[in-house]
Amino acid sequence: MKQWRRGFAVTPPELTKDDERYPGHDPRYAKLSEKELPLTESLALTIDRVIPYWNETILPRMKSGERVIIAAHGNSLRALVKYLDNMSEEEILELNIPTGVPLVYEFDENFKPLKRYYLGNADEIAAKAAAVANQGKAK
């Protein structure tokens, strides 16, 4: 289970198109083709989606002086953190981004990360990160 949830290249079992969770049933994705709607997705595949958006949309806005806030699913955020921090597959496996906690990046003049940190109470942040780490574990 951890490899599916936190691994890099391992994908969970594919959904079928008649599965209620298939994104093609969601009206928010009505303009996307079937090819653009994955039946399964690993972190590696998420990176293939997220990093072009970072480079083509987000980074140019930052370079123009805008402050950017990104609100996204945990796996998309993990993809971006892996890219920005040049993390290995092993390092990203152990990263647990706490749900609902702002993660701040500070960049140098070339938009390379100088540091990242969470905003909030350290104990609460640690508890939320632990909760993410425990998702999917047997109770």
List the binding residues for substrate. Answer: 5-6, 74-75
Binding residues: 5-6, 74-75
Contacts 24+ apart (CB under 8 A), 70-76: 74/99, 74/132, 75/41, 75/43, 75/46, 76/46, 76/49, 76/50
Give the end-to-end CA distance of the chain in Å, rounded to a whole number: 14
Q: Burial, 43: exposed, middle or buried (Cβ in 10 Å; 0-12, 13-18, 19+)?
A: buried
- For the record, the structure tokens of 121 come out as 């109470």
Q: Are 84 and 105 in contact (CB under 8 A)?
A: yes
